[in-house]
Amino acid sequence: MRSAPRSITAVFAVTALGLGLAACGGSGSGDGESSSSGSAPSDLVVRGCNPENPLVPGNTAETCGGDILDTTTSKLIHYALKDAAPEMDIAESIETDDNQTFTVKIKSDRKFSDGTPVTSSSFVDAWNYTAYGPNAQQGSYFYEPIEGFADVSCTGEVVEETDDPCAGAGAPKAETMKGLKVVDDTTFTIRTTQPVSNLPIRLGYSAFAPLPESFFEDPKGYESDPVSAGPYRVTEQNPNESVVVEKNPEYTGDYEGKAEKITFRIFTDASAAYSELQSGELDVLNEIPTDVLPDERWKQELDGRGKSREVGIIQTMGINPTVDDRLEDPRLRAAISMSVDRQSIIDAVFAGTREPATGWVSPVVDGYRADACGQNCVFDPEAAKKLWDEAGGIEGDLTLTINGDADHGPWAEAACNSIRQTLEVECKVKPTVDFATFLTDLNEKKVNGLFRQGWQMDYPSIENFLVPLYSKNAASNYYSYDNPQFEELTRQAAAASNLDEANSLYQQAEAQLAEDMRIIPLWYSVGNVGWSDRVDDVEINAFGVPDYGNVTFK
């Protein structure tokens, strides 16, 4: 995939090349006319979707909120547009001699959008808040390597019918992680429980963004009026309609955006968004409907205003047998996987623009190993039906739950048809109203049968395709996957002294997933973007997200 994580023996040094979220430069407003949507010449209107949670970096673990936060947050590290290579952003340097104690120095001129300075405490306090169990932040798991994380985590089971996630005996032992220390306003240290060779690479993810003092004084107030340190700041939040970000007047970093304002218009239908792109009501679209993919019809209809690239995204189907105990036998789950004709679905629905997944890690990251899933991901109707019958099948129908605000219907129907014809069991597609509702239902363990899943990498590492999804209690572990051998292998991989050793251990951990098959790999995605005739220079970054900040205006 992108750049590979590498062992840091002395100094982790990267250069701010200005290649990422937004390039340096002016607004590019020009003298052009307003678009038909009524926006100013330098105001950008793009497709968005409903964030699951308020726009707090440490509590956002999905793309709807994440795409917005990418424009409003700055972190220690920035990922380059082309290959996600890590570059310094707020960090001046990140140094280590042993991959276990890291000294971070930050730039002294950075400010939040409220004019207050970004200091070492802005990071340490934010990370401690996110990690602290009672705050119930979805990004807390990303701090697991830091010394003292276990002490700030809930120690017992969550008690039902209470708002306290650490009720009763579950209260944490401490409020802050002992592995974080503020040295001065521009220096802090991180100590991990064991060596973590790729820790600096992780620090560009939004969960590691700083937070201003005002957040800790009034977290709820922050949710309605976020304060940020990135190129843009949130100025409007209209549920189910739009989120508006405007240039942050306090921003002094290297990635200033060209648009004065970006409006994320929320759509629940991909075809409707595409129609508005064609009419000029929308400037940038990050999802092309499947019915215009054949023969690249969409590029013809947009007069060539579209492009594609390989990105770090994988699509899967999930199963949680603790919710649907009919699928407790792993043979049943393997049979379902073998009954899905991936290539035929890719050809018929995606016009051949996907690649069948043979494992759980994207080919774009270093450490990817083909055929990690083995025969379980090979379409084999006879073997699938035999295994299904040997395991006794299930009573009742299968459902495949998808979020209804994206164009998942066609492939989901095709997958259900393939399962139905192979296993002779009824399979029905069940859409939810939007992605936020879908994730809430998964978190509350309300989803039976199969459910659509996808993973967009947070940072360029094989580890990111495994640990945040399949480790016990990870925020995105919707499968109740709990495998001690997987945990041990990923711990050993994180502490490995060199990249080859780490990759080998992560590959062994990935192999554990094939034995359980709670997650069924489907295909590796391609990023598509289309744009209106009033903008130009539209690119897709390595994560599959349009580079909104660098869009120029004709």
Task: Tell me the one-letter amino acid at 456.
Answer: Q
Owning domain of residue 430 = 310-526
- Pick from 227, 261, 285: which residue ends a domain? 227
Question: For the domain that residue 205 is a member of, what is the CATH number?
Answer: 3.90.76.10
Nearest 5°: CA angle at 137, between 135 and 138? 160
Is residue 87 located within the same domain as residue 190? yes
Classify residue 288: in a domain, yes or no.
Answer: no
| CA atoms in the 13 A half-sphere facing the CB of 92 | 15
Residue 308: partners with Cβ closer than 8 Å, 6 or more residues away: 353, 526, 527, 528, 529, 540
Cα(339)–Cα(318) distance, integer angstroms: 15
Residue 188 and residue 99 in contact, taking contact as beta carbons nearer than 8 Å:
no
Cα(540)–Cα(550) distance, integer angstroms: 10
Q: What is the CATH number of the domain that holds 513?
A: 3.10.105.10
Residue 27 lies in a domain: no
Q: Is residue 237 part of a domain?
A: no
Residue finishing a domain among 198, 227, 256: 227
Show the tokens assigned to 41: 């010449």
Per-residue model confidence (pLDDT) at position 358: 97
Q: 30 lies in a domain? A: no
Residue 374 backbone class (left: φ over 0; alpha: ψ -120 to 50; beta: rest): left
End residue of a domain, out of 227, 259, 291: 227
The number of distinct structural domains making up the chain is 2
Quote the tokens at residue 150. Answer: 């276990």
Contact (Cβ atoms closer than 8 angstroms) between residue 69 and residue 229:
no
Do residues 77 and 88 make contact, with C-beta atoms less than 8 angstroms apart?
yes
- Asked if residue 415 is part of any domain, the answer here is yes
Output the six-digit token pair for 127.
């990370």
Query: What pLDDT, in 10s, does the model give residues 426-479?
Result: 999 999 988 889 989 999 999 999 999 999 898 889 999 999 999 998 878 999
355 with 460, same domain?
yes
The H-or-E segment that residue 503 falls in is helix 499-516
Instruction: Flag residues of the chain having pLDDT under 50.
Output: 1-38
Dig out the tokens for 447 from the structure.
């989803």
Copy the structure tokens of residue 25. 């430069």
Residues 217 and 317 occupy one common structural domain = no
Residues 344 and 203 in one domain: no
Q: What is the pLDDT of residue 58?
A: 96
Helices 342-349 and 409-423: crossing angle, nearest 10°? 150
Task: Break the chain down into helix, strand, coil percent, rounded to 5.
Answer: 30, 20, 45
pTM, rounded to two decimals: 0.79
Say which residues have a Cβ less than 8 Å from residue 39's Cβ, sequence separation at least 6: 45, 261, 263
Residue 264 lies in a domain: no
Is-contact 228 112, C-beta < 8 A?
A: yes
427 shares its domain with 334: yes
Residues 215 and 102 reside in one and the same domain? yes
Contact criterion met (CB below 8 Å) for 66 and 60: yes
Q: Is residue 261 part of a domain?
A: no
Determine, yes or no, domain membership for 368. Answer: yes
DSSP 389: H
Token pair for residue 522?
């489907």
Helix axes 409-423, 330-338, angle to 10 degrees: 110
If you write DSSP's letter for every residue of 218-284 in order, what string do you get? -HHHHHHS---SSSEEEEEEETTTEEEEEE-TT--SS---S-SEEEEEE-S-HHHHHHHHHHTS-SE
Give the list of residues 6+ apart from residue 432 with CB closer than 8 angstroms, or none: 401, 402, 403, 404, 438, 441
Residues ≥6 apart with Cβ < 8 Å to 40: 29, 34, 260, 261
Q: What is the per-residue burial (b if ≥16 Cβ within 10 Å, else e) of 119-144? A: bbbbbbbbbbbbbbbbbebbbbbbbb
Closest CA to 50 of 41, 40, 60, 42: 60
Q: Contact 519/453 with Cβ under 8 angstroms?
A: yes
380 and 497 housed in the same domain: yes
Q: For residues 277 and 499, what is the distance between their CA atoms, to the nearest angstrom?
A: 44
